[in-house]
Chains A and B, each alone.
Chain A
Amino acid sequence: MITLRDVRKSYEDEVTIGPVDLQIPTGGITALVGPNGAGKSTLLTMIGRLLGMDDGAIEIAGYDVASTASKDLARIVSILRQENHFITRLTVRQLVGFGRFPYSKGRLTQHCEDTISKAIDFLELTELEHRYLDQLSGGQRQRAYVAMVLCQETDHVLLDEPLNNLDMKHSVQMMRHLKRAATELDRTIIVVLHDINFAGRYADHICAVKDGRVVEFGTPATIMTDEVLTRVFDTEVQVIDGPNGALAVYY
């Protein structure tokens, strides 16, 4: 369970995020959706303690994010940001291995190696594990980053737009991987998505953010309606019945 109480953040004077009060239940995938600049990344990075908040409190599984030691939090929550550029020359396996740092402090044990292999296999990177990151396509690299945070074996995983750079096939695969991670590995996954239809199909809960505030929170069935989506995205949206559930049409 992740709890946000009266969380606020202001950038300069004009942009204010919050106040946000939110409870994200344990288990499953929660999708954060909303227009550009709504504050999704800001909320996510504050939950992942990469960004300090100005006011309020965030608790993850009972641990207060502001007061819990960072090294302890690293075993509870992991976060992947929207943009990543690691300048060093690393192989996929080395990168994924960094996910073990909170446990091994850099000295990999056999258990670590097994976990690394599992994370690599989980994201179907087995063939690529000894490739350098700069020899991968954007989408493959994106999967390697996700493998790294899964390798951290935290109950809570925060991902900012993991479908960035992914084509149709790999977007679907990534969402299936995440779904499997949520069900098979019992992770609580919070993911920022731009395609509302992916959220509708794969998420267990959808949280809609607009102008720095949470405007809707609920199951896909309650969010995927003409009225709600039109209001959240400021765009005429029609929801129709697709072969696999509700489908939002906006063009």
Chain B
Amino acid sequence: MAEATITRPDRRTPPASGRTTSAFGTPRAHRRYRITLAVLIVLAVGFGFGLLAWDNPMPVGSDGFWRIARMRATSVLVMAIVAICQATATVSFQTATNNRIITPSIMGFESLYVAIQTAAIYFLGVSGLVALTGLPQFVMQVAVMVGLSLLLYGWLLSGRYANLQVMLLVGIIIGGGLGSVSTFMQRLLTPSDFDILTARLFGSVSNADPDYFPVAIPLCVAAAVALWLRARRLNVLTLGRDATNNLGLDHRSEIMKVLFGVSLLMATSTALVGPMTFLGFLVATLAYQISGSADHRHIFPVAILTCFVVLSGAYFIMRNVFYAQGVVSIIIELVGGSVFLVVLLRKGRL
């Protein structure tokens, strides 16, 4: 028996010298994380390349092939931007509000987008929608969305009775109010105008115009990098207000900075492709499930890759299997929602 004890060291209590704090509960979780990341990268590259090359009538490598691929590359780039925006924004927003079951789109970004689009066609007719396209108009839409959210955060979080829950509630109410105004205006549209509008209100990668890239890409990258650099602070924020202040971080100012980044990302994504209500929430939840870590430095990459895989996968399948790429947001919500439920029911916790 004595030999057995010697050959089998006690696994539960590692020697004091080698005790370290890992972002993962167990070495197995760490291994699983690396595998998950690798699989996601393979899938992302696969779907991305598939979108560029699949069903390309020209032989791979020829001039014509690249010309067609370049046209398709725009939509792959849009998906990458949307993935970075939605995933980073949702994960950060959930951390800032200490709530894993909400998404920043409830803060009125999407209702505002819908209201702007509807108002344009209501007051100016179809020419109004045309007047909304163009780089200055894109910048204006982003500015209005960011402005509104900053007003909301600033007003509700800097007062004496600063309260996150009230801010969320007011955000939802404003969103709901804008939604009803839009619905009302939509009722009064002619059927043909309404039809044109509807196409704009479904989140779709084809809404994006490459002309917007010079603004959209820097905005998205700058805000996402800023949030990534704050990953360690975001980890502290998950402990809640009091513990954050105790550790020497000013909770209120941290939250404001994070929410500013979130609103930049959400505004960019929404102005670029339209509403994607469920996407961010879906990928954030999946990322927490499959990454096995509560550290933002590990969650961000998984969330972004998942988001890109979900988006590009849905487009790839819709284009090449069902020949119906217009309804991708619907398939994302259907398939994504089911995957989400399955994962949740199997794991039993968020």
Given contacts A50-B246, A79-B242, A94-B21, 5 further A-B contacts (CB under 8 A): A86-B238, A106-B232, A108-B20, A113-B20, A117-B19
Q: Mark A55-99, 1 if CB is under 8 A from B, else 0.
A: 000000000000000111111001111001111111101100111
Interface string of B3-28 (1 = CB under 8 A from A): 00000000011001001110101100
Q: What is the chain B residue whose CB lies nearest that of A48?
A: B246
Q: Does A35 contact B (CB under 8 A)?
A: no
The answer to whether B248 touches A102 (Cβ under 8 A) is: yes
Inter-chain contacts of A70 with B (CB < 8 A): 245, 248-250
Does B325 count as interface, using CB distance less than 8 angstroms? Answer: no
User: Do B248 and A71 touch across chains, with their CB atoms under 8 A apart?
Assistant: yes
B247 at the interface (CB under 8 A from A): yes
Residues on B facing A (Cβ under 8 Å)? 12-13, 16, 19-21, 23, 25-26, 98, 100, 232-233, 235-236, 238-240, 242-243, 245-250, 294, 349
Chain B, residue nearest A104 (CB): B232
Q: Kindly state the separation between the CA atoms of A85 and B241 in the bound complex, as whole angstroms.
A: 11
The winner among A99, A116, A130, A149 for most chain B CB atoms within 10 A is A130
Chain B positions within 8 Å of A97 at CB level: 21
A89/B19 in contact, CB under 8 A: no
Query: Are B246 and A78 within 8 A (Cβ)?
Result: yes
Known contacts A94-B23, A130-B25; A87/B98 CB under 8 A: yes
Instruction: Determine how close the nearest CB of chain B comes to the CB of A217; give it in whole angstroms.
Output: 25
B294 x A101 contact (CB < 8 A): no
Residues of A within 8 A of B247 (CB): 74, 98-99, 101-102, 152
The residue in chain B whose Cβ has the minimal distance to the Cβ of A158 is: B246
Q: Which of B233, B238, B239 has the most CB of A within 10 A?
A: B239
Q: Return the chain B residue nearest A80 by Cβ.
A: B246
Secondary structure call for the B interface: loop
Contact A130 B242, beta carbon cutoff 8 Å: no
B13 touches A127 (CB 8 A): yes
Q: Is A49 within 8 A of B239, CB to CB?
A: no
Most interface-central of B13, B26, B100, B247 (chain A CB within 10 A):
B247
Q: Is the CB of A106 within 8 A of B21?
A: no
The verdict on A117 contacting B294 (CB below 8 Å), with A70-B248, A72-B248 known, is no
Could you tell me if B248 and A84 are in contact, using CB atoms closer than 8 angstroms? no
Return chain B residues, CB-CB under 8 Å to A99.
247
**Which B residue sits closest to A102, measured CB to CB?**
B248
Task: Give the complex CA separation of A93 and B248 in angstroms.
Answer: 20
- Give CA–CA (A79, B241) in the complex, Å: 12
- Within the assembled complex, what's the spacing in Å between the Cα atoms of A21 and B349? 48
Cβ–Cβ contact A91 & B25, under 8 A = yes
> Could you tell me if B248 and A88 are in contact, using CB atoms closer than 8 angstroms?
no
Contacts of A149 in B (CB 8 A): 246
Which A residues are CB-close (under 8 A) to B98? 87
Say if the beta carbon of A105 comes within 8 Å of chain B: yes
Residues of A within 8 A of B238 (CB): 86-88
Contacts A93-B21, A94-B21, A132-B25; A101 near B242 (Cβ below 8 A): no
**Is A10 interfacial (CB 8 A cutoff)?**
no
Question: A36 within 8 Å of B by Cβ?
Answer: no
Kindly identify, within residues 91 to 129 of chain A, every residue whose CB is under 8 Å from any CB belonging to chain B: 91, 93-94, 97-99, 101-102, 105-108, 112-113, 116-117, 126-127, 129
